[in-house]
């Protein structure tokens, strides 16, 4: 087996939560100061899409425990097209571009 340096053994070989990490298709920030009203009357914050390079930077900062904003202001679409807030995944793992990131609590 090939192991990547600096990773815990479970993370390196993909056991447990790492193996079932949800895949991020599109990553964005949520702006609560600019709410959008839907036809059914629901209001949601405006989504600001992030580039791949900024997404990687943001996920690394979150993994290191130094996010630029609160986790509830980050959102993403999974591979099934379902929307999630990053705050729902505290203590769990997400995957972006074949790299797995742990979301710190």
pTM: 0.75
Per-residue pLDDT of the chain (105 residues; tens, 9 = 90+): 555 566 666 666 555 666 678 899 999 999 888 888 888 988 888 899 999 999 999 999 999 989 888 989 999 998 888 999 989 988 888 888 888 888 887
The predicted structure's pLDDT at residue 39: 87
- Tell me the CA distances in angstroms from 62 to 32, 38, 45, 77, 87, one per residue in order: 20, 30, 21, 18, 11
What b-and-e string marks burial along 19-33, b requiring 16 or more CB atoms within 10 Å of the CB?
Answer: eebbebeebbbbeee
Are the C-beta atoms of 78 and 88 separated by less than 8 Å?
Answer: no
Segments making up each domain of the chain, as ranges: 17-102
The predicted structure's pLDDT at residue 77: 92
């Amino acid at each position: 087996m090939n192991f990547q340096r600096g990773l815990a053994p479970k993370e390196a070989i993909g056991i447990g939560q790492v193996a079932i990490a949800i895949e991020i298709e599109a990553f964005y920030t949520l702006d609560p100061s600019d709410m959008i009203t839907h036809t059914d009357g629901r209001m949601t914050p405006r989504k600001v899409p992030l580039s791949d390079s900024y997404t990687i930077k943001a996920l690394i900062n979150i993994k290191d425990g130094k996010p630029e904003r609160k986790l509830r202001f980050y959102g993403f679409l999974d591979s099934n097209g379902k929307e999630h807030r990053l705050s729902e995944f505290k203590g769990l793992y997400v995957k972006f571009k074949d790299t797995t990131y742990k979301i710190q609590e």
